[in-house]
């Protein structure tokens, strides 16, 4: 095993898909809490999760004069709910149905004095099952969940590095619990054409021209972990662009570029490969953008320190 393989772990979809599908539903339950209580932000940024040194967090959620947050801890495998008044509620992450998790989570909120009603049906999935009735999804492999988080953690830092010299509007590096992917998006600053027949979520997400990048852990019908990139609207001829590294390719069906995670994690420098992919796609997709105004001509001044 190479050094890169030990740091960037394997995550075969067929081996962890049951855990992923269950986690997806658990995260939707917690995510709907943000959806109910957080003030709206453009492009639905008020509902996302963020990568932490232990897992994924909601960040602070307002609650009158107080606030609380919820974190999926993938080291000790627990859900931690922290109230600004002091109380903390901890639920173990273990093999259990979505219905059981839903009951435990809502009871935990109630015990902390948090009385809310959330949308009780998952979003952005085929054939959704109401949370309270879902006994189909009930898997939890701690090792797979930990590896999933490790990949998110390292990918998030690479995504942040990619944004270092960007001057235009950009999203945070965040995790969408609806689509179950890590993402970062750049904006040209121009409005995008209306999408005929678009639903409320899609219409708001793509109200402006974007080039997005992200990491899928294998869901969405693709069947393997991969990095992706796309432009919306897509400039003419983008699908024929030659992008790097050589393993990257364009999907005509999905209108996205892909770079399979296994081609990244086994490389001598996975971070450099991801950055090469992101930069290459951005250059191809931004042919009509004002890059002189959007990208620094000189690198951002960095104070260099040391760490061991």
What digits encode the pLDDT tens for the residues 107-117?
999 999 999 99
User: pLDDT tens digits for 22-36?
Assistant: 999 999 999 999 999
pLDDT at residue 97 is higher than 70? yes
Q: How far apart are CA 155 and CA 214, in angstroms?
A: 9
CA distance 273 to 180: 23
Residue percentage of the chain with pLDDT more than 90:
86
Taking the C-alpha atoms of residue 65 and residue 300, their distance in angstroms, rounded to an integer, is 38
- Give me the pLDDT at residue 305, please: 67
Confidence of residue 303 (pLDDT cuts 50, 70, 90): low
| pLDDT score at 220 | 80
pLDDT digits (tens, 9 = 90+) for 52-75: 999 999 999 999 999 999 999 999
Mean pLDDT across the stretch 274-285?
Answer: 98
Mean pLDDT within 103-129: 96
Per residue in 189-240, pLDDT (tens digit) is: 999 998 888 888 788 888 899 999 999 999 988 899 999 999 999 999 999 9
Identify the pLDDT of residue 196. 80
Instruction: With beta carbons less than 8 A apart as the criterion, state whether 140 and 94 touch.
Output: yes
Q: What is the dihedral of CA 224, 227, 232, 236, to 10 degrees?
A: -90
Closest CA to 208 of 237, 238, 169, 182: 169
Q: What is the pLDDT of residues 247-259, one digit of tens each?
A: 999 999 999 999 9
For residue 1, what pLDDT band results from cuts at 50, 70 and 90?
Answer: very low
In b/e form, how buried is each residue of 98-124, taking b as 16+ CB within 10 angstroms?
Answer: bbebbeebbebbeebebeeebeeebee
User: What is the per-residue pLDDT for 200?
Assistant: 80
Q: What is the pLDDT of residues 157-185, one digit of tens each?
A: 999 999 999 999 999 999 999 999 999 99
Output the pTM of the full model.
0.94
Confidence check: pLDDT of 302 > 80: no
290, pLDDT greater than 60: yes
């Amino acid at each position: 095993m190479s050094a890169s393989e030990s740091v960037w772990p394997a995550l075969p979809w067929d081996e962890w898909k049951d855990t992923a599908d269950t986690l997806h539903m658990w995260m939707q339950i917690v995510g709907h809490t943000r959806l109910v209580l957080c003030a709206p932000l453009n492009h639905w940024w008020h509902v996302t999760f963020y990568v932490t040194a232990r897992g994924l967090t909601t960040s602070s959620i307002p609650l009158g004069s107080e606030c609380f947050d919820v974190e999926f801890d993938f080291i000790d495998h627990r859900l931690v709910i922290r109230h600004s008044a002091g109380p903390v509620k901890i639920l173990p992450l273990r093999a259990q149905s979505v219905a059981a998790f839903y009951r435990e989570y809502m009871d935990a909120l109630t015990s902390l004095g948090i009385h809310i009603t959330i949308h009780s049906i998952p979003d952005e999935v085929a054939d959704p099952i109401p949370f309270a009735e879902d006994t189909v999804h009930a898997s939890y492999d701690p090792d797979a969940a930990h590896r999933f988080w490790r990949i998110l953690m390292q990918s998030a830092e690479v995504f942040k590095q990619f944004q270092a010299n960007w001057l235009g509007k950009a999203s945070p590096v965040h995790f969408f619990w609806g689509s179950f992917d890590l993402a970062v998006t750049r904006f040209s600053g121009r409005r995008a054409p209306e999408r005929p027949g678009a639903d409320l979520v899609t219409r708001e997400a793509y109200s402006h021209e974007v080039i997005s990048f992200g990491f899928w852990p294998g869901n969405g019908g693709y069947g393997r972990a991969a990095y992706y990139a796309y432009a919306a609207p897509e400039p003419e001829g983008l699908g024929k662009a030659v992008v790097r590294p050589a393993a990257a390719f364009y999907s005509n069906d999905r209108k996205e570029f892909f770079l399979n995670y296994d081609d990244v994690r086994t490389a001598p420098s996975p971070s450099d490969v991801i950055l090469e992919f992101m930069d290459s796609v951005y250059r191809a997709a931004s042919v009509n953008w004002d890059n002189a105004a959007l990208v620094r001509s000189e690198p951002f001044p960095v104070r260099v320190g040391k760490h061991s």
